[in-house]
Each structure stands twice: as C-alpha cells, then as structure tokens.
Structure 1
Amino acid sequence: MTSIIILSDTHIVAEGALAYGHSDTAAALMSAITTINTRLPELGPVEGVLVTGDLTDFGTEEEYRRFATMMQRLALPWWAIPGNHDRRGPMRSVFAGADWLPASGEVNWQRSFGDWELIALDTLREGAHHGELGDEGLAFLDAALSRIGTRPALVATHHPWMASGIAAMDADNLHDGAALMARLEAHPGPVRMISGHVHRTAFAQIGRVPCQIVPAPCHAVHLDRRPGAENCLALEPGALTLISHSSEQGFTSMQVPVGHVPGPWPFGEV
C-alpha cells in the first residue's frame, strides 16, 4: 500500500495578520505539520504531502516565503498546485528549483507511486475565482492518461466539479469540468478525482468517477445551503486527508484531525 497526505487551502497571510480578520492560518499550518510529523509512524509509509491550492491568501512573494519556511519543518517531501488565491509568478520565484514545478506555463505535473499515478492539474485563472483547465490543461490530461494506459489515476485539482450545495462556492467551481469528467469516464483504468476549494469534506459519484472534496487545516466554509445565503467562514476543527492505494481495494481515504486530541486509550481499559 502506498499513501500520500492531502493538505489543502492553507491561505497563509503576512506575519501578524489573520485571514479574513479571524483565521490564524499560520498556526493552523504549523499544527498540521506537527500532526503529520508526530503521527507519521502510525500513518506511514507516506510518500509525501500534496497541497491542493490556495497556499496563500493574496499570492505575494512574502506569503510564499512564509509558507516555504514553515514547510521546511515537514518531515516529508511536498508538492503543490495553485488555487484561485495563488499567483504563478511569485510561486515560481519562491519555489524555484522544486522538481514538481514546470519552468513555464501552467503548473500541471504527473508523478508515479508504485502501481498508481498522481495527475495534478492547474485550474487557476488569474483574476477570477472560478476554475478552468483550458486547452493547455486538457491537453496535459489527455497526454497523461494516454501514457499511463490502464494504471489507476488520482486526479487532483483545486476547484471541484461536484457541487457542495453551498451556492457561492458552487458558482466558482471548475467551469470546464464536464470536459474533464468525460476524459476520466473514458479512462480504461480506475480513477478518482480529489479537490480542495470548499474547505469541507464532501463526496459524490459522477458517472463511474468517485469525486472528493477535502477539508482545510484552518477555517471551513460555513455550511449554509439556503438560497442566497452569504458566503462565510467558520472556525471548525481542521483536518488532513490520507489517501492510500492498494491492488486489493484501490483508493481509500481517511480524515485525520489536526492538532492534539485526547487518547489513544486501549478499548480493554476499565
């Protein structure tokens, strides 16, 4: 069995600031890193950590430097794709030399883990909140799926295609998601789609493709599905997602809470 950890929507801001005036995203990221490092013997073996977008809140070099400095404490390699709060230029400037980061263009990349493939897709359209793969992203996906044949694929994006029922977030989903899903539906091997953006855990089955939205280590998007509800954040407990693959049962996912929790205690204790 091989595993990776998904860390999404860290939204790092300048030192001394709170995201949206309420969320200490730096403290949340440090808590997530500590959780990973502490629990790694229990969770492992883990190949690395994928950050599925919105690494920072404003996409500045200062924020990326702060993010990179904190991630130096992580006991695993990490990789990333951008979200709508990110900016490719500052990302490249600060993360120059990262083996997952293309030298130019969109931040699409692919990596092999044992008997499965991770295909990471850039859905950022700078200046917009919604996601879009566009011709470059779809062409990259076509080539990646062609190369891997029938091997299982985990396809990662920041923006999801599945709807959460939170109207303001669903409006900013992946606008060309139908084209993406048609390609995943046609892939001859097992495939799963995983995304961030909504800061909540959600699952759906679209055709034969299981789709998952992962939570954030910091704030959540408040779950209010009433028509016209204002889009708000809530300081719910943060979480990570452990994705594993085995030949016996394919992809599995488990949520891991961020921070200290009481226990563990043996069930046999009286």
Structure 2
Amino acid sequence: MESFLTLPIINRNYSNILHITDTHLFANDQSKLLGIDSNASFQTVIREIENRNSPFDLIVATGDFVQDGSEQAYRLFAEQIQKFNLPCVWLAGNHDNYHDMQEIFADYQLAENKIVLLGNKWLLVLLNSQVVGQAYGFLPQSELEFLQRTLTIHNDRYAFVFLHHHAIESGCHWLDQHILKNKHELEEIIKHQPNIKGVAWGHIHQSLDYIWHGCKAFSTPSTCIQFMPKSYDFKLSYEAPGWREIKLAIDGSIQSKVYRIADNCFQPDMSQNGY
C-alpha cells in the first residue's frame, strides 16, 4: 500500500503547485552543460520564484536533478528547495540514480510519496517512468495498475498525474525517440478516467500545452538549457530557464503559466550537437 501525503488547503478555493524539472546540477560550480552554468541558472530560478512570493502549497520536481551523478549535486538541489519551507515530492528522470535520491532527499525531508491528497478536492499521482540506462521512458504494469487502483480508491477527487517523460510527441524528431514508449497505455487510462484533469512532465526542456482527451497536458521548461521546438535534429534554444505554476481549483479547473528568469545571462553553446 502506497503511503500518501495529505495537505490541507485553508481559506483559498484553489491549490497552488510549483513545478520544477530538469535541473542537471553538478558537484562542481565551475562545470557547465552545453555552455550553461546549470548550478547558477537553477539558483537564479529559485531566487526569482522567491521574489514572486506566490502562496505555494507544494513543490513537484520531476527528474533529471543531476548531470554528473554526484551526491553533492543532489544535496545542492535539496538545500535550495528547503528555502521555501514547503513539502516537495519528486520522481526520477533518466539521468538520475534513484537509490542516491532516496537516501539523500530523506536527509532533507523531501517526501517520496507518490500520492498527494491536496485539500478536499484533488489527488496528485506521481508515476515512475525511468528505465535505468536508457533515455526513453516506460511505465511498467505495476505503475499502470498503481494509477488505476489509486484513481479507484479516490474516485471522489479530481486527479492530476506527473511523470518525467513526455507522453505526447513534441514535434522534435530527435527528442521523440526518447518518449514514453508505452504512452498508448497511459492514454487509454486517461480516455476512460474523466476525473483525470491534468498531466504534466519535464524531459523535453521546453514548454508545450495540449488538450488530451479532455484533460490539460503540458511540459515544463528546464531550469537550465532549453531545446529548440519543432527541430528534427538536436538543437538548442536561446529561451531562458524557467518553471511552471499550476493552480488547481475546487471546481476541477486548472490554470497554468510558465515563468522564465527576467534577465537571461545564461546563453548556450549553439555549436553543440548533442549531450
């Protein structure tokens, strides 16, 4: 039986979620990813979120926390997130070491709960799409059954699903080779579960929005490098690092907006053709 996190919502008719993804941090502050200091860009994102002073209830972090596989980089993420003094749930991306994440994030009280009961109306479900050693994603039968079971148990709530890998083609040929390989199985659940009102992911380092069988689906930009939309081959974008804020209303509606850092001094090395 999966443990769940229960968060009361007081004196508001909506819940507010901060979605952060694909930080790609290093142990060494001098290291760069495709020309961008991803440690510095992440910390800039955190400062700008703090300055906005939005009333968040929860942080959801959807993978690719580190680029170099180091424990120190995971600790950097946790130390920055602790500044918000908010619950944070997370799941692994294709670059992550799940075992290290479990041990290190537990030291910082970053919750491993895959079910969040948010107020009286909303259910959040986190799905692990990581395939160890591969860039693409896959939801094993155990994850699909977990989703179905959780939706059944909490059928009086609206549902929002988070995962790392994209479940809808991005339009980038090179990225779509690394999609959720059994996306059709998730799609079948969404088709037949009208309580699912939203699905969100990271992985593709760009912001895209869809209506998917009646629910809202979207990707959130990375806090470091961005990939050029609609590119056949690997190509970087000059768009700024960013994050997404998601409002879940008590009537089941969703409002969402992407924000990016205001003064983008983080320019990628456009000569690079992969990573």
TM range (shorter): 0.7 to 0.9
CA shift for structure 1 position 55: 1.0
Question: Residue by residue, what CA displacement relative to the aligned partner does 1:206-230 show, whole Å, maximum 9, x if unpaired?
Answer: 322321111112110123534xx2x
Q: Which residue of 2 aligns with 1:85?
A: 95
Find the partner of 1:207 among 209, 213, 220. Answer: 213
2:226 is aligned with 1:223: no
Q: Which residue of 2 aligns with 1:128?
A: 134
Q: Which residue of 2 aligns with 1:250?
A: 253
Instruction: Tell me the distance in 2 between the aligned counterparts of 1:165 and 1:69.
Output: 35
Partner-residue secondary structure (3-state), 1:95: helix
Asked if 1 retains the 8 angstrom alpha-carbon contact of 2:63 and 2:90, the reply is yes
CA shift for structure 1 position 235: 4.1
TM-score (norm 2): 0.84
Instruction: Tell me the distance in 2 between the aligned counterparts of 1:176 and 1:124.
Output: 12
Question: Residue by residue, what CA displacement relative to the aligned partner does 1:68-102 show, whole Å, maximum 9, x if unpaired?
Answer: 22323234332211111111111112112546326
Instruction: Tell me the distance in 2 between the aligned counterparts of 1:17 and 1:80.
Output: 26
Partner-residue secondary structure (3-state), 2:247: strand
Asked if 2 retains the 8 angstrom alpha-carbon contact of 1:7 and 1:216, the reply is yes
CA shift for structure 1 position 12: 0.6
2:144 is aligned with 1:138: yes
2:253 is aligned with 1:240: no
Q: Which runs of 5+ in 2 are unaligned?
A: 1-13, 265-275
* Shift >4 Å, 4+ stretches: none
Asked if 2 retains the 8 angstrom alpha-carbon contact of 1:37 and 1:75, the reply is no
Find the partner of 1:100 among 111, 121, 129. Answer: 111
Q: Which runs of 5+ in 1 are unaligned?
A: 103-108, 262-270
TM-score (norm 1): 0.85
Identity of aligned residues (%): 24
2:33 is aligned with 1:23: no
Asked if 2 retains the 8 angstrom alpha-carbon contact of 1:53 and 1:86, the reply is yes
Q: CA RMSD in A?
A: 2.0
Asked if 2 retains the 8 angstrom alpha-carbon contact of 1:150 and 1:188, the reply is no
Q: Which residue of 1 aligns with 2:57?
A: 47
* CA gap 1:112/1:249 in 2 versus in 1, 3 angstroms: closer
The one-letter code sitting in structure 1 at the alignment partner of 2:116 is R
CA shift for structure 1 position 170: 0.9
Partner-residue secondary structure (3-state), 1:96: helix
CA shift for structure 1 position 132: 0.8
Instruction: Tell me the distance in 2 between the aligned counterparts of 1:126 and 1:144.
Output: 25
Instruction: Tell me the distance in 2 between the aligned counterparts of 1:59 and 1:121.
Output: 22
